[in-house]
Copies of this chain bind each other. A is one copy, B any other.
Amino acid sequence: MAYSVISRRLALTLNTNLRLSVSGCRYASKAAPKAQVDFDYDGPSMKTEVPGPRSRVRKHVSSQNVAAVNFFCNYEESRGNYLVDVDGNRMLDIYTQISSIPIGYNHPALLKLMSNPNNLVGHYWSFALCKPESLITVLESKTSGQMLYVILNQMFTQLDFKCVWFLVQNKERGHTSPSNEELRTSMINQGPGCPDLSILSFMGGFHGRTLGCLATTHSKAIHKLDVPAFDWPIAPFPKLQYPLEEFSRENAQEEARCLEQVEDLIGKWRQKGKPVAGIVIEPIQAEGGDNHASAEFFRSLRKIASKHGCAFHVDEVQTGGGCTGKFWAHEHWGMDDPADIVSFSKKLLTGGFYYKDAFQPYRIFNTWMGDPTKNLLLSEVLSVIRRENLLVEVNRSGKALMNGLNELQAQYAGILSRARGQGTFCAIDVCDDATRNNILQKARNKGILLGACGDRSIRFRPALVFKEYHVHMFLNLFNDVLAQIK
C-alpha cells in the first residue's frame, strides 16, 4: 500500500507535466484532486496495443467460442477503476463489464468478506429461497416499504413477466382457484389456461435475450434474428432533441405523440384478443442508445398503465444501484407509486425484482434461485455504498463529467453532439458509426475503456467509485484522442 501511495503521487506529477507539455493539446481539464480510492491504481499504463500478443494467442486455443471476446483480462491484478489485461495493460474502465462492477475491481470489503471461512459454504449450495436480512432491509428502505416481496434470481426480467401475468390473471378471476378447464388447457399451451396476453414494450428497448424478454427487446437485429417472437405491441420511445432547454416545446410534443401511440396500441391489442397485461420500460434506454425521457413522460405513462389495468414494470437492470445519482432511477420521477414491478441486476450483482402483491410462491421458482454468495456480496456492496457515501460521489463525478462532455462537444462540434446523462450514467453521440468505433479503439490504446450503444453513441458506465479525479483524468485523455480524430 505504501508503494501504491508513493507511486500515485509520482503519477500525479507526471500526469500534470504531461498535460502541460503535450503539443496540440486543445483542452485541459481542471487540476485533479487526489484520488480517494485507496485500493485504486494511479492511472492507465499501456504496454501494447489492445488486444496485445498474449490476448491474440489465447483466442486461438479456445474450445469456447471466443470470437466476441476483445481481449483477455487479468482480474487478479485489476483494482478499483482499473482493468488489467493479460498483456499487462492497465486501463481506466468506464464501461465496467457493461456496468456490472459496482464498487470497482477487488474492493477490499469484498475481498475481506469472501476470505471469511464462514462465507465460503455458500458456494457449494445455490439452491435457496434464502433471505439475507441486511439486503432485504436495505432494499425495503429504498422502496419506502411499498414493495414487499423480493425475488432474487439470475433470470432477469424473464420471471417478472410471469409475475405480470399472474397479477393480472389473479385479479381477473377474483383471486379464486383456477378452473379445471384452465388447468387442463395450460398443459397443452392453449387458452384459457395459457391466455393470449401481451406485454407492451418500446422500440429501442432492451430487456434481455431469453425468449420472452427478447420479444420486448428492440435494440439490435442480431439479437432477434431467427428467433420466433410473440405478436406483442411496440410503441415508439421519445426521440428527444438536444440541448433540452432549446427544444422543450418539440420534446413535449414528441413525448405526447409516443403516449398517444401507447394508448392506441393498448386499444388495438385488446381488439385483437391479446390484451396488454403489462408495460415494460427502462428509465433510460441503455443498449438502445442512452435515450432519455422526462419525468413527466414516465408519470403520464404510469397513469395510462393504471387506467387500463396494465402492470407497470420498470426495468432498472442498467439504471439501478446508484449510477444515476439516486439508488433507483425511477426516484427521479417524484412519484408515490412509480411501479408495480421493478427488476434489477448488473450493479446489484444478482438478478432480481421486487413487486407489490403476493402470489403463490411456487409459481416463480428454480434450482439456482437466490445464489447465496451473490447475495452476500450484494449486501456488502450496499453497505459500502452507504459507508463511502457513494451516491454523493456519483452526483459530484456526474456533474464534472457532464460539464466536461459539454465543453468537449462545443470544442469538437463536428464530431460530438447530444451530450446527455443523469449521475455518471452519461452518453454522447459521434458523427457516424465508423468515427465512433475509431474513437473507442484509440481511447482503448490510450488506456480508456468505453462502451458503444445505439447506432453511434458512446456510453459511460463507470463504477460508483469513479471520482471527480478520474473524470478529469478521462477528459484529458479523451481530448487527446479527439485531437487525433479532428
Contact = CB atoms under 8 A, between A and B. Distances in A.
A257 interface: no
Contacts of A110: 123-124
Interface string A184-223: 1011111001111110000100001111110100100111
Interface of A: 62-69, 73, 75-76, 78, 97-98, 100-101, 105-107, 110-111, 114-115, 117-118, 120-127, 129-131, 136, 140, 148-152, 154-156, 158-159, 161-162, 165-166, 168-170, 178, 182-184, 186-190, 193-198, 203, 208-213, 215, 218, 221-232, 234, 345-346, 349, 351, 358, 360-363, 365-368, 370, 373, 377
A225 B73 CA distance: 44
Contacts of A188: 218, 234
17 contacts: A65-B361, A66-B361, A67-B360, A68-B365, A100-B367, A101-B125, A107-B124, A110-B124, A114-B120, A156-B366, A158-B210, A162-B226, A178-B221, A189-B231, A210-B212, A212-B212, A222-B363
Nearest to A199: B228
A208 to B, nearest CB: 7
A366 B188 CA distance: 31
B367 A98 contact: yes
Contacts of A129: 64-66, 68-69
Closest 7 CB pairs of A and B: A211-B212, A189-B229, A97-B127, A194-B229, A169-B226, A183-B221, A65-B361
Nearest to A370: B64
Contacts of A117: 115
A154 B190 CA distance: 28
Given A127-B98, A131-B63, A162 B361 contact: no
Contact of A125 (B68, B105, B151, B168): B105
A125 B75 contact: yes
A228 B125 contact: no
A197 B227 CA distance: 8
B123 A155 contact: no
A361 B67 contact: yes
B362 A68 contact: yes
A441 B170 CA distance: 31
A226 B124 contact: no
Contacts of A211: 158, 161-162, 210-213
